[in-house]
C-alpha cells in the first residue's frame, strides 16, 4: 500500500478502507482525477494527480489573497441576492483539461460516487465550520440545501451531484439537510453557451422553495458542484431569503477561475 504523507486523499475512519474497496468494486480501481487504473493504492488519486492537487489547493484568490479553500469571496451579484459567502475547494479552469479537481467534479456529474463527494467537501466543511464559529452560529442554526438537478438529468445520469455533495457536507458539519429548493418545471436552456446576462434570465423562474418552514429563521447553506457566473446560486439565494432564511452561505466544489 502506497504511503501518503498527510492521508489527505485517503478516505477517513475505520471504514475508509472498506469504502475504498467498495468504490473500486463499483467504479474500477481508477484515479478520481485522470481516470487511469492505479492499483494497490489507498488514495482516491494517483501520485501524479496528488501532486497536482497540492498545487491546486495552494492557489491564492486574486481578490482576497487567501488560499482558495479559505477564500469566502462571493460571485458578482451574490451579496445583493442575499448570499454572504462563497466557500470553494478550488478554482476551475475550463481550459485545463488535466486538472484533477476539475475532472473529479466532472466525474461526479454522472457517477454516484459518495466517496468522491466526501473528498470534495472535506476542505469546504472545515472552512464552513470555522466561519460558523466566527459568526457565533451552531450547526442547529443552519440547514443544508442544494441546487436540484432536473429530473431528466437524474434519469439519464442516475445521480444528483449537488445533493450528494450536500449530504457529504451535512455529514461532516452536523448540519441537517432539507430538500427546500425544487425545480419549478420551467424548461431550462443549456447555461453553458450563454452570456452572464443570458444566464440570469435563463434561471429566473426555474426554481422555487417548496418548504419555507425548513429555512425560515435559519442560515441556509446552499450547495452546488460548479459555480461559473453565479447566476443560479444568486437566484437560489434570493428565493431562500424571500422564504425567510436569515442568511445564505454558498458552498461549491469548484468556482470558475477569476481572471
Which chain residues interact with Zn ion by CB under 5 A?
A: 31, 33-34, 46, 49, 61, 63-64, 71, 73
Closest approach, Cβ 73 to Zn ion, in A, equals 3
Indicate the residue among 15 and 63 with the shorter CB distance to Zn ion.
63
Minimum distance of Zn ion from residue 56's CB (angstroms): 13
Cβ(89)–Cβ(126) below 8 Å: no
Beta carbon nearer to Zn ion, 63 or 196: 63
Minimum separation from the CB atom of position 101 to Zn ion (A): 11
Nearer Cβ to Zn ion (61/147): 61
- DSSP character string of 4-71: -SS-TTS--STTHHHHHHHHHHHH-SB-TTT--B-TT-SSSS-HHHHHHHHHHHT-B-TTT-SBGGG-
The nearer residue to Zn ion, 19 or 34, going by C-beta atoms, is 34
CB of 71 to Zn ion, least distance (A): 3
**Shortest reach from residue 253's CB to Zn ion, in Å:** 16
Judged by beta carbon, residue 29 or residue 141, the one nearer Zn ion is: 29
Query: At closest approach, how far in Å is the CB of 121 from Zn ion?
Result: 19
- The distance of closest approach from Cβ of residue 50 to Zn ion in the complex, given in angstroms and rounded to an integer, is 8
Task: For the chain, give the DSSP string.
Answer: ----SS-TTS--STTHHHHHHHHHHHH-SB-TTT--B-TT-SSSS-HHHHHHHHHHHT-B-TTT-SBGGG--PPPTTHHHHTEEEEEEEEEE-TT-TT-HHHHHHHHHTSS--HHHHHHHTHHHHHHHHHHHHHTT--GGGEEEEE-PPPHHHHHHHS--HHHHHHHHHHHHHT-EE---EEE-SPPPPPSTT--HHHHHHHHTTSEEES-HHHHTTSEEEEEEEEESSSHHHHHHHHHHHHTT-SEEEEEEEEEEPP-
Q: Which is nearer to Zn ion, 53 or 245 (CB)?
A: 53
Sign of the alpha-carbon torsion through 243, 244, 247, 251: negative
Residue with smaller CB distance to Zn ion, 33 or 82:
33
Amino acid at each position: 500500500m502506497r504511503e501518503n504523507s498527510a492521508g489527505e486523499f485517503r478516505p477517513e475512519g475505520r471504514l475508509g478502507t472498506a469504502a475504498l474497496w467498495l468504490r473500486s468494486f463499483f467504479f474500477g480501481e481508477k484515479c478520481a482525477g485522470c481516470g487511469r487504473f492505479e492499483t494497490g493504492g489507498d488514495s482516491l488519486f494517483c501520485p501524479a494527480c496528488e501532486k497536482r492537487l497540492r498545487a491546486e489547493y495552494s492557489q491564492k484568490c486574486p481578490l482576497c489573497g487567501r488560499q482558495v479553500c479559505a477564500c469566502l469571496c462571493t460571485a458578482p451579484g451574490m451579496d445583493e441576492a442575499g448570499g454572504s459567502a462563497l466557500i470553494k475547494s478550488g478554482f476551475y479552469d475550463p481550459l485545463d483539461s488535466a486538472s484533477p479537481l476539475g475532472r473529479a467534479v466532472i466525474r461526479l456529474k454522472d457517477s454516484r460516487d459518495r466517496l468522491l463527494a466526501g473528498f470534495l467537501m472535506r476542505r469546504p466543511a472545515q472552512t464552513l465550520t470555522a466561519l460558523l464559529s466566527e459568526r457565533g452560529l451552531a450547526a442547529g442554526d443552519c440547514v443544508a440545501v442544494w441546487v436540484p438537478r432536473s429530473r431528466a438529468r437524474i434519469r439519464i445520469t442516475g445521480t444528483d451531484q449537488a445533493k450528494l455533495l450536500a449530504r457529504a457536507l451535512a455529514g461532516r458539519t452536523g448540519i441537517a439537510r432539507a430538500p427546500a429548493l425544487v425545480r419549478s418545471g420551467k424548461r431550462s436552456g443549456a447555461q453553458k453557451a450563454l452570456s452572464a446576462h443570458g444566464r440570469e434570465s435563463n434561471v429566473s423562474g426555474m426554481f422555487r422553495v417548496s418548504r419555507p418552514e425548513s429555512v425560515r429563521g435559519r442560515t441556509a447553506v446552499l450547495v452546488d458542484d460548479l459555480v461559473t457566473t453565479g447566476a443560479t446560486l444568486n437566484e437560489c439565494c434570493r428565493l431562500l431569503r424571500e422564504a425567510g432564511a436569515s442568511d445564505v452561505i454558498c458552498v461549491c466544489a469548484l468556482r470558475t477561475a477569476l481572471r
